[in-house]
Copies of this chain bind each other. A is one copy, B any other.
Amino acid sequence: MPLAELWRGGLPESAHLGHLVIADAGGIREHWGNPGAIIFPRSSCKMIQALPLLESGAAAAAGLQPRHLALACASHEGAALHVGAVSRWLQDLGLGEADLRCGAHEPRDKAERNRLIRAAEPPCQLHNNCSGKHAGFLTVNRHLGAGPDYGEYDHPLQQAIRQTTAEVAGEELAGWGVDGCSAPNFAFSLQGLARAMARFAVAREGQAGARGDAMARLVQAMIAHPDLVAGEGRACTGLMRAAEGRAAIKVGAEGVFVAILPEQGLGIALKCVDGNARAAEVALSAVLVRLGVIAAGHPLAQKWQDPVQRSWRGIEAGVLRADPALHRPLNQGAGKA
């Protein structure tokens, strides 16, 4: 089903298809496209991958604070803010950059990127957008006393994540693949991902055991630190700020987005079929506005609300428009799972 279209000169130029599910604790509330589509959640499931960090007691033993938990769920920009925080976290564990297994890439943050170029310094693993997740992995791993290659599929940590993922998705996993950061990423249905996000949304501390506590603390940490979850100019950070505490929002590679709405007890998951983030962003924005999570035209969220496309001289050239259907309630109930 269409998620978004790019228009230029009054004509449609490009179009993005996708699937979207809004779930509550009971199952699917609304859907668009195929709720049973098997997807790789990629980084959108970092909150699930962080559950063993809390449930194992590792986070408490290491004295982790909300900022650490936000970083464990982050796909950050590699700004000085993020790199410094992950570096200190590793130091507190008695570990260092070389213990990471995420690989290095140039940071998206321009100030840090330019600093590296001016200093003729190559990017390191701390700059990897997943370095916070991997710092979380290392924290559990030290607690478990397991081997250093914590990213291998057979490693006890990844097996714990596999088990946890199947539990919160409420279904059999369809398989797994290697993510950009070299850790396993488990494939399951989009409705399973939305259902998992709904479980995060209804979790409250002290009400549903260790898992409920862990879920609630991760959501609170993300909402408290939108700047750590992504960075300046990024959709996760901007939309969370515009939501003013009403949503935790997380992107995944290849056009995945999820949102956790604690006030409404809803989880949202969407996948742009062609893997494009721009369509996923505007589609999610449209749904968040419709659900009253973000005010239409909120200055912090305008960048993702049917954004105008401009030429390099700033001339208005077109618009990237969420499918009009996303502004109204979608197919309801039919796909109840």
Contacts and interface: CB of A to CB of B under 8 A. Distances in A.
A254 B6 contact: yes
Contact of A311 (B117, B178, B274, B318): B178
Interface in A172-210: 174-182, 185, 187
A318 B185 CA distance: 12
B313 A101 contact: yes
Contacts of A181: 311-312
A283 to B, nearest CB: 13
A176 B8 CA distance: 8
Pick the most buried of A9, A180, A182, A273: most chain B CB atoms within 10 A of its CB. A9
B312 A128 contact: yes
A321 to B, nearest CB: 14
A317 B274 contact: no
B317 A178 contact: yes
A211 interface: no
Contacts of A177: 8-11, 13, 317-318
Interface of A: 6, 8-11, 13-17, 38-40, 101-105, 114, 117-118, 128, 174-182, 185, 187, 254-255, 273-276, 279, 311-318
25 contacts: A8-B40, A9-B40, A9-B185, A9-B187, A10-B175, A11-B38, A11-B40, A11-B177, A13-B177, A14-B255, A14-B273, A15-B273, A16-B274, A17-B17, A17-B274, A103-B313, A105-B312, A128-B312, A177-B318, A178-B315, A182-B311, A182-B312, A274-B274, A274-B276, A276-B276
